[in-house]
Amino acid sequence: MALPVGSIRAASRRVLSRSRPTSPSAPAPAPASSPWLLTIRWASSSTPTSPPSPAPARRRGFYLPLSLLLVVPAIYYFYPSSPSRRLSPYTYSDHPVSSTTPLGPSHKELAVPIPRESIGLFGTDAVRLDGTPVKKDDEELVVQHVMVKNPDLQIERPYTPTNDVETDGEMRLVVKRVKGGEVGRLIHSLKPGQDLGVRGPITTFSLVPSAYDKIVMISSGTGIAPFLQLLSKLPAAPPSPALQSPITSSPSPTPSPSRPSSPSASASHPPAHPSLHLIHSLPAPSRPDWSLSPTLLPRVQDRLGDRLVVTRVPPGPIDRLAVEAALGARDGEKVLVLVCLPPTLMRPLCGPLTIRLEQGPVTGLLAELGLSNAEVWKLE
């Protein structure tokens, strides 16, 4: 039996009013033009929406290892794992500064005592670049550096002690403050008694001095630091008041007459000790020569005596005559040339380090003088 259209509309309104309660202040719903359309709208609006599907499990499994890969190294390197003050190449520890000495408007020397349990890391327990322990029977010497951090910015920079840390019981660092250098700014602001975050020591290079007849070192600025450390670790020369270490302020094409051209011809030290020649750039005329501080270059000169020849050259590219005078005749001699210069000065002298800080081929002036990769070692 067919029902009247008015009855169907009234029944639909009653169903809606019972199933969809409204607030007393809400207006009544407007009548629909068709009861079937109204019923369909009510049914679709009452259907609950499905929650968003969870991320795939494999995506969650990817983000977790990635987060650990980024967070763990940062904690490992920049935060010490324990309050111990023992030095470690892998974690930072805080060490008090015992003294600070200004060396000029932009350079400062810091002295940091080393805990007794860490002294061996700078000598008896030192390792080579490949991590193997140094053999003391070979008289191998290791030159090392440490990393210093700014705890506010988590930035670290390498600094090389200028002294024999194992003998002195402390490390001395010469730090230059440059524009925009946050670690240098932090170090220059330290006062005696305040802590310095240190990680290390880390091996820079190692060598057996007796394996060479002559060792030539070429540096400028703070690049002299690894050479001062090396010279501090060499055996001291016997007292010889008649012979003094010559210092020339300009290159000379011939060796100094007070300095034997070959270590085998010298009676002041055994042939096993190589002859030493340091070529170091002078500062700009308007800047002080901080390398002449009593704890730096004069100290190693007094210690080594006539075994060490120091040549000071003008700032800029290293002069060819100075290098030729330091190398000498090289008649069958085993020579090692150590270079620590900024890239702009290293490139014309011996060629730059590679992008991975590897040695790369020897080019430039040293290649013209016949030196090979086995005779040249570049330092960053």
CATH of domain 93-206: 2.40.30.10
CATH fold group of domain 209-379: Rossmann fold (3.40.50)
Answer yes or no: are the C-beta atoms of 94 and 186 closer than 8 Å: no
CB 226 within 8 A of CB 144: no
Going by DSSP bridges, is the β-strand pair 170-176/195-207 parallel, antiparallel, or unpaired? unpaired
Cα dihedral value 313, 326, 376, 292, nearest 10: -40
Compute the residue count for the chain: 380
- How far apart CA 190 and CA 162 sit, in angstroms, is 19
Binding-site residues = 157-159, 174, 176, 183
Q: What are phi and psi of 278, to 5 degrees?
A: -110, 125
The phi and psi torsions of 57 (rounded to 5 degrees) equal -65, -35
Bridging pattern class, strands 214-219 and 335-340? parallel
Spatial contact of 147 and 199, defined as CB atoms under 8 Å apart: yes
Binding residue ranges for FAD: 157-159, 174, 176, 183
Which of the 8 DSSP states describes residue 265?
Answer: G
Provide the pLDDT for residue 16: 52
pLDDT of residue 137: 66
pLDDT value of residue 213:
94
Question: Sign of the CA dihedral 361, 367, 370, 374?
Answer: negative
Q: What pLDDT does residue 71 have?
A: 62
Q: Tens of pLDDT along the chain (380 residues)?
A: 555 555 656 655 665 555 555 455 545 555 545 544 444 444 444 555 555 555 565 666 666 766 667 665 555 455 544 456 789 999 999 999 999 999 989 999 999 999 999 999 998 888 888 888 887 666 889 999 999 987 777 788 999 999 999 999 999 999 998 887 888 888 898 999 999 999 999 999 999 999 999 999 999 999 999 999 999 999 887 765 444 445 555 544 433 333 333 333 333 444 468 999 999 999 999 899 999 999 999 999 999 999 999 999 999 999 999 999 999 988 889 999 999 999 999 999 999 999 988 999 999 999 999 999 999 999 98
> What are the boundaries of each domain within the chain?
93-206, 209-379
**DSSP letter (8 states) at residue 132:** P
Give 248: exposed, middle or buried? Use CB within 10 Å, 0-12, 13-18, 19+. middle
What DSSP character marks residue 297? H
- Residue 151's pLDDT is 74
Q: Which residues pair with 142 in a beta bridge?
A: 206
β pairing state of 195-207 and 93-96: antiparallel
* CB 340, CB 223: distance < 8 Å: yes
> Is it true that 93-206 and 209-379 share their CATH fold?
no
The pair of three-digit structure tokens given for residue 224, joined into one six-digit string: 């002299």
